[in-house]
Structure 1
Amino acid sequence: MSLRVSADQDTGVAVVTLDRPHRLNALDLDTAAELTSVWRTFRYDDTVRAVVLTGAGGRAFCTGIDRDAEVPQPPSPYMMDDPLLRIGPKANDLWKPVIAAVAGMACGGAFYLLGEAEFVVADETATFFDPHTTYGMVSAYESMYLAQRMPAGEVARLALMGTAERIGARRAYETGLVSEVTAPGGAPAAARACAEVIAAQPAEAVQGTVRALWAAKEASLARCLAQAPQLIALGNLPADRQTELFAGRRAGGFRVR
């Protein structure tokens, strides 16, 4: 299992932990399937009223899809199989609040998860970046999710500069991506404290509010996401060229704002 799931029936809070620290919590196909299963299980469990989502190991919350994952694609640019499309709670019709607790790196496909969390708590070690353009890939879904939370210029800078720039927790707070910054190691406890308060409210009112908040941005996001497969299929370099660029990446070649 690549996830750890625990639930406290007294508080109504469940904790979902991405548990692949040896791979910086990158998502392979099994982990993606486990996330889908967990969110759908929570839909039927009335003892779970709020969820904290975090990553094990401290070095990373999540670093997107595992480069070793094999995802065959159809030849048409109008059809694309994205294994991360169903990893988020909203994609699985779960309208219980999810709070993300971030330490270390959050990049690339991590934004599928952060984009479907109600809000994000990060500790001072957190850094956020999007490596797609550096490796010859279109940042489509990631940028679309980020654009729901951050000013357009900040999203553009983060997406277009690739691995050359990361934003730290304080800058992420200033731009709206993060709602609270804690001392190192403090994000899970802070997120859990919020989740416990939320879980103590009447469940129907909470879930209705979650649904209302999502509805406020759902129409524009749905139109954006509908264009993503073609943009990716047309703009991505061939897989072998991406692999060459990834293999040639330089350590330390970035700045943190």
Structure 2
Amino acid sequence: MSVPGITVDRDKETGVAVVTLDRAEKHNAITLEMARELGEVWRGFRYEDEVRAIVVTGAGGRAFCTGIDRKAATEVPQPSSPYTIDDPLVAIGPKANDLWKPVVAAVEGMACGGAFYLIGEAEFVIAGQDATFFDPHTTYGMVSAFETVHMAQKMPFGEVARMALMGTAERVSARRAYETGLVSEVTETGGALTAARAAAAVVASYPTEAVQGTVRALWSAKEAARAAALAHAPHLVALGNLPPERQAELFTGRGGSGGFRLR
């Protein structure tokens, strides 16, 4: 299966599907069409019994995902109420689409901002040693709400706070992400996808009822707190974000150009 910006490959022998964000030239930033298609992909997997585990990754090696495409962000009309916001990325992850098959994230290069919607709904993360994680929202006058809620399920409070509040000034290395629990395995650069496929194939080889029941049990342990926190996120974003034109000024003034500087 292939749609603009997304490819899906299924291995019938292992039962593993690989979902790839395929906009390497734009650091795999997500367009509105990609956001809609991701939801459809996850929902579709619920009916594919032959798919028993999934890997999500980004093409090109320079970035896993850099969140929403800036142009796409300006195309989303927002309600006037400060207590509501339409977030096009809110349903791009597997759990948001009621998929309880195991998902492994394979991260190479940058993972930032909206990437955490996907990483936050994966069971575990495997990263190449040159991968970096950061949250640019505060730098550009935006509230990091959904992202911090997702990461607070996987990292210690202080580490999430530091990453979110430091914005683009600091990037969390793959090694540090491993030390704080965000990443479960660090590979050589370029090896994350191979390792993720191998891990997913092991999981896919086990009885699917037992695997999916275990996934659901894991998420039920923290679902109440996560759901309550996410319920607050829309109006925190609506109340705290600078107007779009001010965000654009900050973005341009700090070297943003639809992606992020590599370093």
Distance 2:202 2:178 in 1: 21
Q: 1:80 deviation in Å?
A: 1.1
1:140 paired with 2:125, answer: no
2:167 is aligned, of 162, 177, 194, to: 162
Alignment partner of 2:222: what SS?
helix
**Alpha-carbon distance in structure 2 between the residues aligned to 1:196 and 1:180:** 16
1:21-66 CA-partner distances (Å, limit 9, x unpaired): 1110001100001100100110000000000100001110000000
User: What letter corresponds to residue 164 of structure 1 in structure 2?
Assistant: A
Aligned residues: 254
Equivalent residue, structure 1, for 2:126: 121
Deviation string 1:130-175 (CA, Å, 9 cap, x unpaired) is 0000000000000111100111000110000100000110000000
For residues 59 and 254 of structure 2, what CA distance do their matches in structure 1 show?
25
* Other-structure match for 1:9: 12
Contact 1:2 1:34 in 2 (8 A): no
Contact 2:83/2:239, CA 8 A, preserved across alignment = no
Q: Distance in 2 between matches of 1:219 and 1:118?
A: 17
**2:171 counterpart SS class:** strand
Q: Secondary structure at the match of 2:190?
A: coil
Matched, 1:45 2:48: yes
**What runs of 5+ residues in structure 1 fail to find an aligned partner?**
none
Gaps of 5+ in 2: none
Distance in 2 (CA, whole Å) between partners of 1:67 and 1:168 is 25
1:54 equivalent among 54, 57, 69: 57
Question: In the aligned structure 1, how far is the partner of 2:130 from the partner of 2:9?
Answer: 25
Q: 1:51, 1:224 → 2: CA distance?
A: 27
Tell me, in whole angstroms, the C-alpha distance in 1 between the residues paired with 2:197 and 2:244.
40
Is the 1:122–1:180 contact (alpha carbons within 8 Å) kept by the matching residues of 2?
A: yes
Q: Which residue of 2 aligns with 1:73?
A: 78
2:154 aligns with 149
Q: Summarize deviations over 1:78-113 as a string: whole Å, max 9, x none.
A: 221100011000000000000000000000000000
* Partner secondary structure for residue 68 of structure 1: helix
Which amino acid in structure 2 is aligned with residue 249 of structure 1? R
What is the match of residue 184 of structure 1? 189
TM-score for the superposition, normalised by structure 2: 0.95
Q: TM-score, normalised by structure 1?
A: 0.97
Which amino acid counterpart does residue 116 of structure 1 have in structure 2? E
Shift of 1:250: 4.3
| 2:88 corresponds to 1:83 | yes
- Code of the residue aligned with 2:28 in structure 1: it is N
Sequence identity (%): 71
